Amino acid sequence: MSRDFSKKPKDQPKHRKNLRTELQYLGQTASTETALFHQKAAEYYGLGITDMKAVSTLMQEGHMTAGQLADRLSLTTGAVTNLIDRLEERGVVQRLVDPKDRRKVIVAANVKAIADSRNIYESMAETFDKVVRSYSDAELRFLVDYYKKSIELTQKEIARLPKTRRPL
């Protein structure tokens, strides 16, 4: 029996509505705190937040062309060129020639240089690992499912956002 999640229950219990409200609030708070942590981490390394997200993207998703990186980060080609220049100067990325098309530049994270630097994310990873270890397999499967769906929904919403700026 499948359930249609697009329909709202008529008489949703108040406690369930309160839980959904609390979950939304906690999600927003977690997002803000994560962004602030990343901002402080970028500051520590002498980088901007977009620089850090570029390195993170390359570490997680692998090598990309400069154009792909620009698209992924929603940057202009000029902005991504400046970003790559800054990161290459710091030694955290490398420009490689695309073996299939020498006109293209492949951008790769310099994993060795990154691994050799002090990782201020380490204590955060250790702390989160302690929390995660306290969950059952079923709870971990639920969390994995939740994050996969959250990431997919967020990526879809990013794609839907207009390309032009609009005043608040």
pTM for this structure?
0.77
- Report the side by side order of strands in the sheet with 64-65: 64-65, 105-109, 93-97
DSSP 65-95: EHHHHHHHHT--HHHHHHHHHHHHHHTSEEE
What pLDDT does 163 receive?
73
What pLDDT does 100 receive?
86
For the chain (168 residues), the mean pLDDT of every run of 10, in chain order, is 55 86 94 93 91 95 94 92 95 91 90 86 92 96 96 91 76
Helix, strand or coil, per DSSP, at residue 54: helix
Mind listing the domains of the chain with CATH numbers? 16-120 (1.10.10.10), 121-161 (no CATH)
